[in-house]
Amino acid sequence: MNSQLLIEKIQKRESQIGVVGLGYVGLPLVLRLLESGFRVVGIDVDSSKISKLKSAQTYIKHIPAAKLSEALATNRWTPTSDMAQASQCDGIVICVPTPLNPHREPDISYIIDTMDALKPHLRAGQVISLESTTYPGTTEEELRPRIESRGLKIGKDIFLVFSPEREDPGNRKFSTKTIPKVVGGSTSECLKVGVELYGSIIEKVVPVSSTRAAEMTKLLENIYRAVNIGLVNELKIVADKMGVDIWEVIDAAATKPFGYTPFYPGPGLGGHCIPIDPFYLTWKAREYGIHTKFIELAGEINRSMPEWVSAKVSEALNQHQKSVKGSKVLVLGISYKKNIDDFRESPSVEILAYLKSKGAEIAYADPYVPVFTGTPEHSFDLKAVGLTPELVQSMDCVVLATDHDEFDYEMILRNSRLIVDSRGRFRSASEKVVRS
């Protein structure tokens, strides 16, 4: 099948699209494809997710069950763990995780395993899109050879693109539909098909010259944020030593109408992008004899922030003639950013672990994470506590780690003995509040 025939199928909504990986990226994409009139196969190796989806049970808090019920009611959506279903799809979009290994090196095993599982089911007339964040060259070096091993010619029989995900869970200003989509193709024909696929569901598509350019674009976006957050986190420490309010300084600097974009400090970086993605470029750059000092320094600063906040808790308790050991400490927010339920790489977890190791009696409140059983690095068995005046009054210290909008900050301030604020939410002067 040539590219024009596939493009016409996409335009007429006669094509079926498969989405592999139904997490924070893949599931919103499924819903957007359905809204646009496509038939969709949602594939995930986690059978528990498939069971929930088939009964319209959500496992991502900002995606309500009602949305899943509407999706099922279209009769155009098939959730499955059967990779063979991909053979029935004209487009296959891969949205699987790309973590770091224990040595902080890229782990693209999810991509490779997914591609190997898909390989027997590939056929002519398909477009394959990788959305997982990865180092420049992954699409050409890892996916292309596997596809070609099936005897399929890229750009003629089958079309290969890279289009980095740009989901921002919890952000009500933007949706899958309204966030511009970067697309790079292995060939010019691949690019044409990729642009048509994404242009049918997203308001603005941004074509680039190659898959490598698209892969690099995503890394630049996240490195930009990581480096600037690292900068303000370092300045936060300097300002603290000087007795200067860093949030006041940032707000004042933000009044400059040119040449400045405000970034805000916090307890560290979390999530599956900003703390991880920069190291994909750092690792790949070594292949070219380049040591990315700037990126690595920002990473070191951001990784040190949970320890800084924990030290501020210890210092604040000491000022109240208390030690960390035996003190009751409530951590507000365990997800990595406000208004979502994702606690991957969350600095809140590091703060909890540190305080626990020092003998504190820890508790956490988070309306998005009712139960926390821990991470591969830290073992916990905690349930979120209800945030009441009586509970807050019983705590020796309250640590604001994630500033969910649902928290009643006036109540917390009124009833706390001591607050360590890592998010700058308690802006009014109070002897109770320690900035961190």
pLDDT in tens, 54-100: 999 999 988 999 999 999 999 999 999 999 999 999 999 999 999 98
Q: Are 23 and 131 in contact (CB under 8 A)?
A: no
**Which CATH number, 3.40.50.720, 1.20.1050.90, 3.40.309.10, 3.30.750.80, labels domain 246-435?**
3.40.50.720
Average pLDDT, the chain: 95
Q: What pLDDT was estimated at residue 103?
A: 83
* Section 28-49 average pLDDT: 97
pLDDT band at 145, cuts 50/70/90?
A: very high
Percent of the chain with pLDDT over 70: 100
Structure tokens at 253: 């600097």
What is the Cα–Cα distance from 146 to 373, expressed in whole angstroms?
38
Tell me the mean pLDDT in the region 181-186: 98
Question: How large is the average pLDDT for residues 353-372?
Answer: 95
Domains 3-209 and 246-435 share a fold: yes
pLDDT, tens only, 279-305? 999 999 999 999 999 999 999 999 999
Q: pTM of this prediction?
A: 0.92
CA 27 – CA 25 distance, rounded (Å): 6
Decide if pLDDT at 412 tops 70. yes
When pLDDT is cut at 50, 70 and 90, the band that residue 246 belongs to is very high
3-state helix, strand, coil in the chain (%, to 5): 40, 15, 45
Q: What is the distance between the alpha carbons of residues 234 and 379, in angstroms, rounded to a whole number? A: 30
User: Is the pLDDT assigned to residue 32 strictly greater than 80?
Assistant: yes
Cα separation of 420 and 412, whole Å?
12
In the chain, domain spans: 3-209, 246-435
What tokens does 210 get? 């190659």
Q: What 3-state class would DSSP assign to 223? A: helix
Residue 427 — pLDDT band, cuts 50, 70, 90? confident
Output the pLDDT for position 197: 98
Q: Which residues contact 157 (CB under 8 A, 6 or more apart)?
A: 1, 124, 125
Class (C level, CATH) for 3-209: alpha beta
CA–CA distance, 43 with 416 (Å, rounded to integer): 47
Q: Are 41 and 25 in contact (CB under 8 A)?
A: no
DSSP 119: G
Write out the catalytic residue numbers.
Answer: 273
- Cα–Cα distance, 90 to 65 (Å, whole number): 28
Q: How confident is the model at residue 244 (pLDDT cuts 50, 70, 90)?
A: very high
**Banded pLDDT at 211 (limits 50, 70, 90):** very high
135 neighbors 281 (Cβ within 8 angstroms): yes
Residue 220 neighbours by CB under 8 Å, 6+ apart: none
What pLDDT score does 172 carry? 83
Rounded distance between C-alpha atoms, residue 48 and residue 64, angstroms: 17
The four Cα atoms 326, 375, 105, 264 give a dihedral, to 10 degrees, of: -60
Q: What is the pLDDT of residues 303-325, one digit of tens each?
A: 999 999 999 999 999 999 999 99
Angle at 119 between CA 10 and CA 127, to 5 degrees: 20
* 386, pLDDT greater than 80: yes
Q: Are 383 and 371 in contact (CB under 8 A)?
A: yes
- Backbone angles phi and psi of 169, in degrees to 5: -55, 135
Residue 139 DSSP label: I
Quick: pLDDT tens for 101-129. Answer: 888 889 999 999 999 999 999 999 999 99
Q: What percent of the chain has pLDDT over 90?
A: 90
- Work out the pLDDT band at 1, boundaries 50, 70, 90: low
Q: How many CB atoms lie within 10 A of CB 377?
A: 10
Q: At 137, phi and psi to the nearest 5?
A: 115, -15
Q: 26-35 vs 65-73: helix axis angle to the nearest 10?
A: 50
d(CA 194, CA 124): 15
Asked if residue 414 has pLDDT above 70, the reply is yes
